[in-house]
Structure 1
Amino acid sequence: MHTPHAHRRLALIDLGTNTFHLLIVEMPTTPGEKPLVLLRTKAGVRLGEGGISQGIISPAAYARALHTLAGFKEEIELHEAEEVRATATSAMRVTRNGPDLVRDIFEQTGIRVEVIPGEREAELICQGVRQAVDLGTEPHLIMDIGGGSVEFIIANQATIFWKRSFEIGAQRLLDKFFPDPSGVFPAAAVAAEQQYLSTVLEPLIEALQQYRPVSLVGASGSFDSLADMQLGQLRTESQLPPHTELAPGSFQESYRHLLSGNHEQRLAIPGILPMRADMLVVAAVLIDYVLGVSGITRIQTSAYALKEGLLAEMLAI
């Protein structure tokens, strides 16, 4: 008779537009215990590069996705995880060949990918952030800047007051406002992006006036990079603390630094992941815009996002 692990091992995959994440945990046998993290890793796939603005996943990005998932599959087998939950977001939601990629992933790896809507993505991100940051009773603005979409959630530890997903991710902003990423991001491009945001983010501006959140909590991605820049050191996924306080002065300094340099100079900034060097510029303009319209002065970062939200949800069931 075959006896499985006494402990159930679970793999969670978040197929984002920029980054694919893999989290492998051993589930607790006693309720209330925390799962044991066996592996936490990510790969820069840039699924949206060279195509998302045209509604397509480019052949090179498509190949990178399949290659990355073949590697994840090896890790899953190595760690003997019996159960796999994989979710995909903006790039797979909106592209014409997204469904083909879902099918090819299943045929090549046996991994079933669930493409989730933006509203559901926002909910899971909020759940994940709550595992890293105690939101207490006051409302906070949670923000997750993906490559394809950006989620905004106004919530406290118990309640989501408002949530919305906008298809204005960093890859899209890059395609739209930064035609020459090798150079400096000119003041005119900053102004054009701000003008665009003021139109697209009208529903957010209304919600901010209604709920008046006390802090900005940035989830993973660009916010991890800003926390690394504050420290002046690039950290791996497993080295990042769940929660970091980002000094407002530190953000403004990073923002100025990012805007003043060209691509080569951005690459040289300590704490920057090469893949994010240009995206971080358009993301920082977005963060600065949100700080401006909300009047928020406190910034916190959460290393936890969608996959931790999925895990928290599975533990609660």
Structure 2
Amino acid sequence: MSQHLIAAVDLGSNSFRLQVGRVVGNQIFPLDSIKDPVRLAAGLGADKRLDGASQLRAIDALARFGERLRGFPQERVRAVATNTLRVAKNTPDFLAEAQAALGFPIEVIAGREEARLIYLGVAHTLPNPRTRQLVVDIGGGSTEFIIGSNFQPAQLESLYMGCVSFSLRFFPDGRVDKRRMKEAELAARSEIQSIVQTYRESGWEEAVGSSGTAKAIADLIELNGMGQGGEITRAGLEQLRGLLLRAGDPARLVLQGMRPDRVPVLPGGIAIMSAVFSEFELERMTFSEGALRLGVLYDLLGRYHHDDLREATVGLFMQRYSVDRRQAARVSQTALGFLQQLEPACRDPEHIDSLFLVWAARLHEIGISVAHAGYHKHSAYILANADMPGFSRQDQARLARIVQAHRGKLERMQGEHIELHDWRLIFCLRLAAVLHRSRTDDSLPEIDVFISGDNFHVVLEQGWLDDAPLTGNALADERQHWAALGMNLKIKERRPAAVGR
């Protein structure tokens, strides 16, 4: 990756941002950035659906980002979406258009995964990352809280409150008075109280703010003589809050550094920041330029240096759910061998389909820790709903589908909108699981697999099934399961080689 360019796209609830960085060794040097105040959360109605206007703003911004990213290899760009697209009911429809405009896949990440990436970005900008920090990132639709040191988070949480959502909820017409501000602050404090005791017990040495709200407040405090050093202080925050209350409307505030795009969301941001200072009993907070997009870049860099957090997460889940590692290794090795026959490009161990198949094979039995009956369903539920650092929600949903389909009736998966390449992974995993049902290290015969049209073909050594009647019965059942989908599984024996005279 030396001297290569990588890029991160952050589809935030308030602003969309693009960051391009140059990789030199293990460091990333920012080269270019674009920001567009889309205010996506403002288009989220009471029915939890994005309106047409907000979607158009988003698509226009992503089209501009796509022009800047033209020519970038897909593996060097990572786009992530946060709270608004986590909660919007029409996210799948929007993502189809959004990805077409951007030209790259977009991942909707869970709240704690967002918090992890924020901390990764912040930690890479701090003068002494060994110091234990409380990092607070007030976004448009959610606020993330992290305690960590040495690039390792100890506490991660994401709360459903942000500068856009709170501004719309408590200050819908832009008017600000003491009653509304108090209601907003109490609502924020109520959210924070669910985590504050655990965070106090964990402890921190300094508080750090990141992203737009923290930057706006820090700038307004410093540029207007309410503080210095780029810090947010309790006194400066209270003074800024008082000025906003006296003005009665952020549009009437006459302050140095007041950006037009920040005006509509300032009241909600100040209310949440005031609640943070009150509940965590803070006197000051420094500001870090590191944020989600920088964390995404460093996470992407880690994958290139074979330090992929997803691998660590899979290993942790195998340990947590007491996976039979020898069986997982048997199944993953055999399944991967089948996939490489079906798709030669998957001989590259870093091919995304190869990675997902191996991860699914390693984790397909985690549900046994719940109950053996229907364990594939338990496995799928865990994979779809657990916090899995490094994996997006789409990643987890994909893993869950593959694992759920690895045994049982395939017709039950018909409504899951599974793509062709994932049916190939399912075929490989199902076949490997059948062949290793005995859970022994007995070697398998040479087995060839290939695809023609909607047909999967399995070619076995002649006579092998005669000595493996249970496997023969299981393969016969497999034929029926695939036939229920309108796909054929054809099993035949290899013809013996002709012996010359």
Question: TM-score interval w.r.t. the shorter chain?
Answer: 0.7 to 0.9
State the distance in 1 between where 2:235 and 2:191 align. Answer: 27
Paired residues of 2:196 and 2:279 also in contact (CA < 8 A): yes
Identity %: 27
State the distance in 2 between where 1:109 and 1:294 align. Answer: 40
Q: Does 1:95 align with 2:88?
A: yes
Q: Does 1:19 align with 2:15?
A: yes
Question: Aligned-pair distance for 1:26?
Answer: 2.3
State the distance in 2 between where 1:127 and 1:294 align. Answer: 22
State the distance in 2 between where 1:223 and 1:64 align. Answer: 24
Call closer, same or farther: CA 1:158–1:38 in 2, change over 3 Å: closer
Paired residues of 2:136 and 2:144 also in contact (CA < 8 A): yes
Q: Deviations over 1:161-198 (max 9, x none)?
A: 211111111222122211321x2x11111221232223
Q: Deviations over 1:251-282 (max 9, x none)?
A: 3322222232223313x322122222132212
Q: Does 1:221 align with 2:212?
A: yes
Amino acid at match of 1:152: F
Unaligned runs of 5+ in 1: 234-242
Paired residues of 1:14 and 1:307 also in contact (CA < 8 A): yes
Paired residues of 1:146 and 1:170 also in contact (CA < 8 A): yes
Q: Does 1:56 align with 2:52?
A: no
| Paired residue secondary structure (1:39) | strand
State the distance in 1 between where 2:181 and 2:47 align. Answer: 23
Unaligned runs of 5+ in 2: 308-501
- TM-score of the pair, normalised by structure 1: 0.86
Question: Aligned-pair distance for 1:52?
Answer: 5.0
Name which one, 1 or 2, has greater alpha-carbon Rg.
2
Which segment drifts farther, 8-17 or 156-165? 156-165
State the distance in 1 between where 2:13 and 2:63 align. Answer: 17
Structure 2 partner of 1:196: 187
| Paired residue secondary structure (2:42) | coil
Structure 2 partner of 1:274: 260
* Greater helix proportion: 2
Alignment of 1:178-193 (within 5 A): 178-181=171-174, 183=175, 185-193=176-184
State the distance in 1 between where 2:182 and 2:9 align. Answer: 37
Question: Aligned-pair distance for 1:305?
Answer: 0.6
State the distance in 1 between where 2:216 and 2:260 align. Answer: 11
State the distance in 2 between where 1:230 and 1:198 align. Answer: 22
Larger relative contact order (CA 8 Å, sep ≥ 6):
1
| Paired residue secondary structure (1:85) | strand
Amino acid at match of 1:112: P
State the distance in 2 between where 1:117 and 1:68 align. Answer: 23
Instruction: Specify which of 246, 249, 252 is matched with residue 265 of structure 1.
Output: 252
Which segment drifts farther, 132-141 or 155-164? 132-141
Structure 2 partner of 1:35: 28
Question: Aligned-pair distance for 1:6?
Answer: 7.9
Call closer, same or farther: CA 1:270–1:55 in 2, change over 3 Å: same
Paired residues of 2:222 and 2:230 also in contact (CA < 8 A): no
Structure 2 partner of 1:287: 273
Question: Aligned-pair distance for 1:105?
Answer: 1.6
| Paired residue secondary structure (1:272) | coil
Instruction: Specify which of 2, 8, 17 is matched with residue 4 of structure 2.
Output: 8
Instruction: Specify which of 108, 132, 139 is matched with residue 125 of structure 2.
Output: 132
Which segment drifts farther, 186-195 or 92-101? 186-195
Paired residues of 1:119 and 1:165 also in contact (CA < 8 A): yes
State the distance in 2 between where 1:68 and 1:136 align. Answer: 34
Structure 2 partner of 1:68: 61
Paired residues of 1:25 and 1:39 also in contact (CA < 8 A): yes
Amino acid at match of 2:154: F
- TM-score of the pair, normalised by structure 2: 0.56
Structure 2 partner of 1:240: none
State the distance in 2 between where 1:269 and 1:146 align. Answer: 22
Structure 2 partner of 1:298: 284
| Paired residue secondary structure (1:202) | helix
State the distance in 1 between where 2:69 and 2:161 align. Answer: 32
State the distance in 1 between where 2:120 and 2:126 align. Answer: 10
Q: How many residues align?
A: 296
Call closer, same or farther: CA 1:93–1:36 in 2, change over 3 Å: same
Instruction: Specify which of 202, 205, 209 is matched with residue 211 of structure 1.
Output: 202
| Paired residue secondary structure (2:40) | coil
Q: Deviations over 1:269-305 (max 9, x none)?
A: 2212222213221211211121112222121111211
State the distance in 2 between where 1:255 and 1:128 align. Answer: 29
State the distance in 2 between where 1:158 and 1:70 align. Answer: 34
| Paired residue secondary structure (1:278) | helix
Paired residues of 1:145 and 1:151 also in contact (CA < 8 A): yes
State the distance in 1 between where 2:295 and 2:165 align. Answer: 25
